[in-house]
Chains A and B, each alone.
Chain A
Amino acid sequence: MKRVGIIGIGHGKFGRRTDASVQELAFEAFREALADAKIAREDIDASVIGSVPEYHKQRSLSGVVQEYLGLNPIPTWLTEDACASGSAAIRTAWMAIQSGLHDIVAVIGCQKMSELKTPEILALMGRVGEVQWESIFGTTFPGYYAMLARAHMHEYGTTKEQLASVAVKNHHYGAMNKHAMFQKEITIDKALKSAPVASPFQIFDCCANADGAAVVIMASEEKAKEISERVVWLDGLGSATTTMSVLRRPTLTSLPSAVDASRQAYKMAGVSADDIKVADVHDCFTIAEILAYEDLGFCERGKGGKFIDDRESYIGGKHPVNVDGGLKSKGHPIGTTGVSMTTEIVKQLRGDAGERQVADANIGLTHNVGGNGQYCFVHIYNRE
């Protein structure tokens, strides 16, 4: 099979971007991605928008983004899989290219969340839980992951300190990432003294709602080789789902969709968990990163807490994870996140990550979860 490569990446500043509209945010990342790829926008023949439309007053977001980026009249479409919308966009771009229908596709993750107030967002996100039987009890998104955390703590003895250690690591790396919303180290003590959100979670167990955009430009093998000398190849794609309802989950201590998606991606790329030199995983809440260590096979089931205790997910450890700061410190503009993760892995594989560079990073992985596991996309990238 022919390959599909990433030839350009762009990433804007994440945070409360009260200075910009969603299409203006998209433009920042798009301009940077074009410059990075050294192509003109006329070279692009389709775009895919990764975004969750409910956050914006503008209906049918793709249209306004396409216009503002100057991409008319080429086709565009939007993908939505909650917090995994960005990776869904990358997957459909890969399909569009492999089908032969398009050669160069811009994947635009863009999201503006700060136009809504936190309780409105809690209500919206909570309704990513099942609404007929669950949301009527005021369940929230932190609440769902909190219930997974509680189950994991009960079954494996995972501690609140281990949860907080994930936040400490991610803020450590986020402090070195100019795009991150929070560029500040934190301590375990500070995390454990922060305000309660949904027990056992406190503020520092949770990522922040954010505005921001990221863009990757993907091309067919032929075009990629013609345009770029440092292509990063998307060689493994896995995607799976699990039940919407927490009431029908086979397990509360794992995300089955992540297990399935990662096994598919490893198989397709012809690699195993041991080959992954650097990973960006979906740490919307601290427990989510611990579940990811286990679901991706970086450590044994139930040993995720020990994995962070042993600093195996730091640079120099067995599998450096979220050395860009993760959702935790970058902020989580939900439709953008999967694309943001991809830009980081491309940077790492190119050797462009500066003080956050993982040595000899040749194979990298992104793990992007939608909702509380309803959707998962795992992508494996190779620089060779």
Chain B
Amino acid sequence: MFEWFGKVNFTPHTKVSKFAEHLRDGRLMGSKCSKCGHLDFPPRADCAKCMHGEFEYVEWSGAGKLITYTRIDAAPIGFQDLDPYTVGVVDLKEGGRLVAWIGESIPESAIEIGMDLQVVPRVFDELPNIKLYYTLEVPGTTWIKAGEVG
């Protein structure tokens, strides 16, 4: 089900495909090596440290700090209906980084390197198939997780 991940997905097959299922349920998952305990985000099936091939998913809080960003005015195929959009890179509290769109809770004028952000799982409502992504929002932003009382 990794083809769910991304407005346009380029990697339908991967050993970390359950990441997308968890994201649909509102959970941002990294990987933890079953042997040495190394934590990684984006999740990896094969440990970057000790090369072990078994892992478990661990939930990340999604808290992070912005380390760089750009507002894209010239978009590639598949994204031209969205431009301009701003992508940011965040250092995640539990380790690793991710790229995501900066969401509507943050106006362009408020974007600053070093600011605290919250990664929020999202579903594209307007598309017929499941399409998942996440955005960067102000800390404290809430969302529904499957199995939790809303």
B22: interface (CB < 8 Å): no
B5-27 at interface with A (beta carbon < 8 Å): 5-11, 14
Q: Main SS of the interface on chain B?
A: loop
Tell me if A143 and B87 are in contact (CB < 8 A): yes
Q: Could you tell me how many residues of chain A have their Cβ less than 8 Å away from some Cβ of chain B?
A: 36
Q: Could you say which residues of chain A place their CB within 8 Å of the CB of B9?
A: 136
Q: Does chain B have a CB within 8 A of A139?
A: yes
Inter-chain contact B73/A196, CB cutoff 8 Å: yes
Name A148's contact: one of B11, B68, B86, B99 (CB within 8 Å). B68
Residues of B within 8 A of A292 (CB): none
Q: How many residues of chain B get a CB closer than 8 Å to chain A's CBs? A: 38
From A126-134, A265-273, A312-320, A369-377, give the one contacting chain B. A126-134
With both beta carbons as reference points, the residue of chain B lying nearest to A199 in the complex is identified as B71
Q: Is B53 an interface residue (CB 8 A)?
A: no
Give the residue name and chain of the A residue nearest to B112 (CB).
A154
A154 to B111, CA, bound (A): 13
Within 8 A of A (CB), among B90-122: 96-101, 113
Segment of A13-21, A116-124, A255-263, A335-343 engaged in the interface with chain B? A116-124
A142 to B73, CA, bound (A): 10
Task: Specify the main secondary structure of chain A where it touches its partner.
Answer: helix
A197: chain B residues within 8 A (beta carbon): 73-74
A147 touching B76, Cβ below 8 Å:
no
A119 partner, pick from B11, B71, B80, beta carbons under 8 A: B80
> Is the beta-carbon distance between A140 and B99 smaller than 8 angstroms?
no
Q: Is the CB of B78 within 8 A of A199?
A: no
Contact B75 A137 (CB under 8 A): no
Name B108's closest neighbour in chain A (CB-CB): A199
The complex places the Cα of A176 from the Cα of B79 at a distance, in Å, of 39
A35 on the B face (CB < 8 A) = no
Question: B98 contacts A136, CB within 8 Å?
Answer: no
CA distance A200 to B71 in the complex (A): 8
The answer, among B6, B69, B98, for a CB contact under 8 Å with A150, is B69
Q: Does B133 contact A (CB under 8 A)?
A: yes
Beta-carbon contact of A139 and B6 below 8 Å: no
Question: Is the C-beta of B77 less than 8 angstroms from some C-beta in chain A?
Answer: yes
Tell me whether A134 and B99 are in contact (CB under 8 A).
Answer: yes
B139 contacts A by Cβ under 8 Å: no
Task: Judge whether A147 and B71 touch: CB under 8 Å.
Answer: no
- Assess whether A146 is in contact with B113, with CB atoms less than 8 Å apart: no
* Interchain CA distance A150-B86 in the complex, whole Å: 13
Q: Given the complex, which residues of B lie within 8 Å of A143, measured CB to CB?
A: 70, 72, 87
A129 to chain B, nearest CB (A): 9
- A133 in complex: contacting residue of B42, B82, B101, CB < 8 Å: B42
In the assembled complex, A247 has its CB within 8 A of some CB on chain B: yes
Q: Are A247 and B96 in contact (CB-based, < 8 A)?
A: yes
Q: Any chain A CB within 8 A of the CB of B146?
A: no
Chain B residue, CB-CB nearest to A127: B10
Instruction: Please name all residues of chain B whose beta carbon is closer than 8 Å to the beta carbon of A196 when the two chains form the complex.
Output: 71, 73, 84
A-B contact pairs, 20 of them (CB 8 A): A118-B74, A119-B77, A122-B77, A126-B76, A132-B11, A135-B6, A135-B10, A136-B9, A137-B99, A138-B78, A138-B79, A138-B83, A142-B74, A146-B70, A147-B70, A147-B89, A148-B68, A150-B70, A246-B89, A246-B97
Using CB atoms and an 8 Å cutoff, list the residues of chain A in contact with chain B.
118-120, 122-123, 126-127, 131-140, 142-143, 146-148, 150-151, 154, 195-201, 246-248, 252
B binding-site residues for A, Cβ under 8 Å: 5-11, 14, 42, 67-80, 82-87, 89, 96-101, 113, 133
19 more A-B residue pairs beyond the given contacts A123-B78, A140-B76, A148-B68, with a C-beta to C-beta distance below 8 A:
A119-B77, A131-B10, A132-B11, A137-B6, A138-B8, A139-B72, A139-B87, A139-B99, A142-B74, A143-B72, A147-B68, A150-B68, A154-B68, A198-B73, A199-B73, A199-B86, A247-B42, A248-B97, A252-B67
